[in-house]
Amino acid sequence: MLSGSDIQDYVETRLGREVDQKKILTAINEAAIEIGDLGLLYDTISVKVDDISQWYNLPNDYTFVEQVIFKRGSTDYLYHDYTWRTGSISFGDEGEFTIVARKLPEKIDLLGEPITELHPLYHNAIKFYVLGWIKENNDYSSQEAEKLYQKFEERVIRARNTLIRSKSPSTWQVIRRG
């Protein structure tokens, strides 16, 4: 699994010099925010609705409500009578609901942490973003930084398209060599 330290090693190797850890960490977290919705991360939250006039606030990192499931007894139904607006949701019926939503990736706090939320297809994109960010930080008008940001965007779109084409969930086997 790719970690912030791996990205720092990559950037320092490409630049041929050491780079401040705080800058690397900032750039990694900015890359994750830039990937945003294209990261195709999903989460669920359960809501019990007793008052249909009430709006329920969703977590700040939710970007889009993908679907809502209504629970009636032991049966789940796809539910459409809801309104989602600017991070809040309201329902046309009372009951128990499960909201499936896309969300932003979580930030990492230390360079040693692995980037676990984003699929490995996004890892090279993050490397290009961080390298571009460091180059731009040294020279705001850097053409090289602009090219690296373009590579970042291309890799993000490619990763997203590849994941969308996947028809079934896949599992990854991690093989570690000592």
pTM for the whole thing?
0.80
Q: Which two tokens stand for residue 42?
A: 């999903």
The secondary structure of 44-80, three-state, reads: EEEEEECCCCCCEECCCCEEEEEEEEEEECCEEEEEC
**82 & 124 share domain:** no
pLDDT 10s digit of each residue in the chain, 178 long? 899 999 999 999 999 999 999 999 999 999 999 998 899 999 999 999 999 999 999 999 999 999 999 988 889 999 999 999 989 999 999 999 999 999 999 999 999 999 989 999 999 999 999 999 999 998 888 899 999 999 999 999 999 999 988 755 545 555 555 4
Rounded to 5 degrees, φ, ψ at 87 are 85, 5
Domain boundary among 77, 103, 129: 103
Residues 6 or more apart whose CB falls under 8 angstroms from that of 158 comprise 121
**99 & 45 share domain:** yes
Does the residue 176 lie in any domain? Answer: no
Domain boundary among 87, 103, 119: 103
DSSP letter at 167 equals -
Does the residue 64 lie in any domain? Answer: yes
Does the residue 57 lie in any domain? Answer: yes
